[in-house]
Amino acid sequence: MFLTVIIPTFNESENIQELLLHLQEISHRNIEIIVSDGGSTDGTQKLIEQHQNVILLNSQEKGRAKQMNAAAKVAKGDVLYFVHADTLPPKSFYEDIKYCLAEGFPIGCYRFKFNSDKRILKVNAYFTRFDRLMCRGGDQSLFITRKLFDELNGYCENHKVMEDYDIIRRARKKHPFKIIPKDVIVSARKYDYNSYLKVNYANFVAFMMFYAKVDHDKIIKFYRKTLNHKNSELKY
């Protein structure tokens, strides 16, 4: 198995260094790392360039779906592993994914826990073990075979948000989905600038808007109006 790790970035200088150092501790000749940047202005690209074994791709268009699709087009892997810049996957991810493929799962993700000791955040993390679309999200990272990714025509670029929910929903119509019983570590930065209730209210309403097929611009507008998006993934 040759695996390509794909990381979309936009102004992620506070997080990208830690993730790349974490990934490069995993020495494996069958792993390549591609960072697809959407035009960062905060020094993110310079930090990426410091890592010789990391491919920096300057995406022509900003937006996670577009950036990840652009990286997938040049990726050599027969398996793609999409990881957000503020997420740290288990160091066993290569072996975990290989085992899932052998079990017959062409797509899947991890559970997650936050990089915070706040007890209330453990509630959110607990629910990521359940096999429900509402419990999913790009923060949990996503592996998918190249064959299935191509069959689905990749991420839908019309989705400016919640592109991860969309591709999972489409894939699950025909294929089994695996939730690996290990945790990725996710930044709690949204909760640093917003209350717990406000973040969960915004997430719930945004999911219901997605489920009801509300226009993506309206979802983004609601999300940004509801939450303080300083140093969060809303900058996409």
Domain boundaries of the chain, sorted by first residue: 3-190
Q: Retrieve residue 22's tokens.
A: 């974490």
Q: Among residues of the chain, what percentage have pLDDT more than 70?
A: 96
Q: Retrieve residue 80's tokens.
A: 């793609």
Q: How confident is the model over 182-208, as a mean pLDDT?
A: 90
pTM (whole model) above 0.85: yes
Q: How confident is the model at residue 16 (pLDDT cuts 50, 70, 90)?
A: very high
> So what's the pLDDT on residue 236?
54
Q: How confident is the model at residue 230 (pLDDT cuts 50, 70, 90)?
A: low
Topology of the domain comprising 3-190: Spore Coat Polysaccharide Biosynthesis Protein SpsA; Chain A (3.90.550)
> So what's the pLDDT on residue 233?
52
Q: Are 158 and 216 in contact (CB under 8 A)?
A: yes
pLDDT in tens, 51-110: 989 999 998 888 999 999 999 999 999 999 999 999 999 999 999 999 999 999 999 999
The strand order across the sheet containing 142-145 reads: 54-58, 31-37, 3-9, 79-82, 142-145, 107-114, 177-186, 87-88
Give dist(CA 69, CA 167) in Å, integer. 12
**What is the per-residue burial (b if ≥16 Cβ within 10 Å, else e) of 63-99?**
bbbbbbbbbbeebebebbbbbbbbbbbbeebbebbee
Q: Among residues of the chain, what percentage have pLDDT more than 90?
A: 71
Closest CA relative to residue 128, chosen from 166, 85, 184: 184
pLDDT in tens, 125-160: 999 999 999 889 889 999 999 999 999 999 999 888
Place of tokens 């509630």: 123
What's the distance, Cα to Cα, between the start and end of the chain in Å? 32
Q: Strand 3-9 and strand 31-37: pairing?
A: parallel
Burial of 125 (0-12, 13-18, 19+ CB in 10 A): middle
Q: Are 97 and 184 in contact (CB under 8 A)?
A: no
